């Protein structure tokens, strides 16, 4: 009686649930923040990630630690106000060898309204009583991991700001190309 024999077989023991390791939270090892290109990563002794990134210009580099809040894009030693790749790499390596901060969560991508307000604040900070002050997108380098937007998005937002609040920002389009320059408006006298 084959059927009886089969029915008497002990039920197979339930297979143990596969043990999945808890995923380690994202510390920046594979993070590709919007609007910048990560060109190098360094690890601190406690596995925080130090990024070297460039925001499209290619020759300007910024170092940002995802453990502590160290960021730099300047190079006082060499006398430029930007970091070439080899200087950025040296700064990142030096920081990584001394930083003791544990990894923090990577910065969340803010919503559009938040970034628009951050850009408005950034523009406003350039205003002075002397004259309209030209502002360059490169001045945003240190903030790129905070705002996480492409250059195109940033430029479109600034141009809209100039339309909405011409008392704060004006734009000027080159006669020779489509390149747009940005000027923070002079503060009113007195």
The partner residues of 43 in beta bridges, in order of sequence, read 49
Name the residue nearer to Zn ion (CB basis): 37 or 45.
45
Enumerate binding residues for Zn ion (CB under 5 A). Answer: 65, 67-68, 70, 99, 101
Task: Identify which of residues 66 and 115 has a Cβ nearer to Zn ion in the complex.
Answer: 66
d(CA 61, CA 142): 10
DSSP H or E stretch at residue 4: helix 2-8
In angstroms, give the least distance from the CB of 22 to Zn ion. Answer: 25
Least separation, in Å, of the C-beta of 100 and Zn ion?
8
Smallest distance from the beta carbon of 37 to Zn ion, in angstroms?
21
| φ, ψ at 66 (rounded to 5°) | -95, 15
Kindly state the smallest distance separating residue 68's Cβ from Zn ion, in Å.
3
Nearer to Zn ion, 29 or 112 (CB): 29
The two tokens of residue 132 are: 């309209």
Residue number with CB closer to Zn ion (104 or 120): 104
The CA distance from 56 to 38, in Å, is 10
């Amino acid at each position: 009686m084959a059927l009886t024999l089969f029915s008497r077989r002990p039920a197979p023991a339930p297979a143990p649930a596969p043990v999945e390791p808890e995923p380690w939270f994202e510390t920046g090892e594979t993070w590709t923040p919007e609007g910048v290109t990560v060109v190098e990563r360094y690890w601190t002794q406690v596995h925080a990630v130090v990024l070297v990134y460039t925001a499209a210009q290619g020759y300007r580099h910024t170092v940002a630690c995802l453990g502590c809040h160290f960021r730099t894009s300047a190079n006082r030693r060499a006398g430029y106000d930007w970091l070439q790749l080899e200087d950025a790499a040296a700064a990142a390596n030096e920081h990584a060898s001394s930083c003791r901060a544990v990894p923090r969560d990577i910065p969340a991508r803010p919503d559009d309204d938040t970034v628009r307000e951050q850009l408005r604040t950034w523009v406003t900070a350039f205003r002075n009583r002397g004259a309209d002050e030209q502002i360059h997108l490169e001045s945003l380098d240190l903030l790129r991991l905070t705002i996480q937007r492409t250059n195109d998005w940033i430029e479109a937002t600034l141009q809209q700001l100039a339309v909405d609040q011409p008392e704060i920002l004006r734009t000027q389009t080159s006669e020779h190309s489509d390149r747009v320059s940005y000027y923070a408006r002079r503060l009113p006298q007195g």
